[in-house]
Amino acid sequence: MSGLTTANELLQNGMDDFIILEARKRIGGRINTKNNIDLGATWFQNYHSHTSQLIAKLGIDIFDQYSIGSGVLVYNEMAPAHYFESDPNTPAANRMAGGSISLIDKLAKPLQDKLILNTPITEVVEDKNHINVQTNKGTYSCEKLIITAPLKIASHLNYKPTLDKELANAMVDTHTWMSNAIKVGITYNHPFWRDKKLSGTLINQTGPVTELYDHSNRTDTTFGLMGFINEGLRNESAESRKEIILSYLEKYLGDEVRNYLTYHEKDWSQDKFTTVELTPLYSMPQYGHPLFQNSYMNGKLYFSGAETSPIYGGYMEGAVYSGLNIANKLLNEHSLKVSNGLQ
């Protein structure tokens, strides 16, 4: 999202001499929507102003996270579940019609001729007035390079000259948002939980599914549940993990849980373009290190992305903010060059 936001902003301001190298076979990064289920980034809040403005600018419909009915809160699986009602005065989290991928698709639409997929980079070499970028498809040369991969991923690239030790350590120490997450998405032909006056929300920090939410679409034409799987199930076989999850949900939502249309899991720790090494997450990580706001290799190299943002780091808002921030820096540099007759 950060890279596409930067590219879109540059294009709209008359700068089109760039390309986008994408390591994956698809665009979106940690935004990944399948069968209307967001297996990556999902929600944003009204106070996420940059994301909200971008979504409005691109004409994407939004809607509230469904929360009508009782939620299930499990403190102890040996004791009866507790039921709670969402506070109607509390603003609900927002979702995008068509899933979060709608934002990616809108951003990418004017950039199709600039997107090069299946192109991971391995080496970044400063060469006088340029940077040479080594990829599996050969070498690209550029005046400016913006790396928007997760910082732990970016730290494993080969830099010549090597990065400052303090910067390199900050990159390694920055936790990658979603790298520990396992998400599950299940679709149904009918929202049976609503018939039972349940919201589809289930919270149990020690259970097989730690969080679950209604994930039906905006028009209520497709229905689903989506949530986070306990990391303790990571070493189970796919079949065993699925059975544990379905049995658990059946206990609290009913045997209709098994009458699903599709079942998807996404373990982000196994995504090589998200996670290079899995590290435990015990508390809220710190994002937006001041070093990530600087340029390197004599002003030719920048880092951007959700984890670089000093505001709402790790969220979509952080990714959008960092993307706009880098675009503004490049546009200001370009304007200064033009005004000085250097370009």
Q: What is the mean pLDDT of residues 80-105?
A: 92
Q: Quote the pLDDT of residue 52.
A: 97
Instruction: Compute the Cα dihedral for 180, 230, 29, 110 and give only its sign.
Output: negative
| Section 131-145 average pLDDT | 97
- Give the model confidence (pLDDT) of 234-279 as tens digits: 999 999 999 999 999 999 999 999 999 999 999 999 999 999 887 7
pLDDT at residue 338, rounded to an integer: 67
Q: Which of 61-70, 71-80, 213-222, 223-232 has the lowest mean pLDDT?
A: 71-80
Residue 249 CA, chain-centre distance (Å), reads: 26
pLDDT at 181 over 60: yes
Going along the chain from its start, the domains and CATH numbers come out as 2-58+100-177+274-339 (3.50.50.60), 63-96+180-270 (3.90.660.10)
Whether pLDDT at 20 is above 90: yes
Which is it for strands 223-229 and 301-303: parallel, antiparallel or unpaired? unpaired
Mean pLDDT of all residues belonging to the chain:
95
Number of Cβ within 10 Å of residue 140's Cβ equals 17
Helix (H) or strand (E) holding 213: strand 209-214
pLDDT at 246: 98
pLDDT of residue 283: 66
Residue 171 has pLDDT above 90, yes or no: yes
Nearest CA among 97, 64, 66 for reference residue 191: 66
What distance in Å separates the CA atoms of residue 83 and residue 32, rounded to the nearest whole number?
31
Tell me what pLDDT residue 343 has: 58
The confidence score (pLDDT) of residue 281 equals: 67
Q: What is the pLDDT of residue 213?
A: 98
Return d(Cα 189, Cα 216) in angstroms, integer. 10
Instruction: Summarize the confidence of residues 178-196 as an average pLDDT.
Output: 97
d(C-alpha 159, C-alpha 156), whole Å: 9
Please count the CA atoms within 13 angstroms of the CA of 83 that sit on its side-chain side. Answer: 10
121-127 and 158-160 as β-strands: parallel, antiparallel, unpaired?
A: parallel
Q: Which amino acid, residue 196?
A: K
Q: pLDDT at position 242, please? A: 98
Report, as an integer, the average pLDDT of 132-146: 97
Q: Which residues pair with 71 in a beta bridge?
A: 84
**Is a pLDDT exceeding 70 seen at residue 39?**
yes
Q: Rounded CA gap, 28 and 168, in Å?
A: 26
Task: Provide the pLDDT for residue 91.
Answer: 80
Query: What's the confidence (pLDDT) of residue 77?
Result: 82
Please answer whether residues 221 and 90 qualify as being in contact, where contact means their C-beta atoms are separated by less than 8 angstroms: no
Confidence of residue 342 (pLDDT cuts 50, 70, 90): low
Q: Can you read off the two tokens belonging to residue 265?
A: 């899991």
DSSP string, 266-308: EEGGG-TTT-SS-----SPPP---GGGGS-BTTTTEEE-SGGG
| Mean pLDDT on 34-57 | 96
Q: Tell me if 74 sits within 8 A of 82, measured CB to CB.
A: yes
Helix axes 101-108, 2-12, angle to 10 degrees: 30
Statement: the pTM of the whole predicted model exceeds 0.75: yes
Q: Is the separation of the CB atoms in 211 and 227 below 8 Å?
A: yes
pLDDT in tens, 211-234: 999 999 999 999 999 999 999 999
CA 326 from centre of chain: 18
What's the pLDDT at 336? 73
Q: Which of 73-77, 83-87, 282-286 has the lowest mean pLDDT?
A: 282-286
Residue 282 has pLDDT above 60, yes or no: no
**328 half-sphere exposure, CB direction, 13 A CA radius:** 7
Supply 191's token pair: 């929202």
**Can you tell me whether residue 286 is helix, strand or coil?**
coil
Which range among 29-33, 202-206, 333-337 shows the weakest confidence by mean pLDDT?
Answer: 333-337
3-state helix, strand, coil in the chain (%, to 5): 30, 25, 45
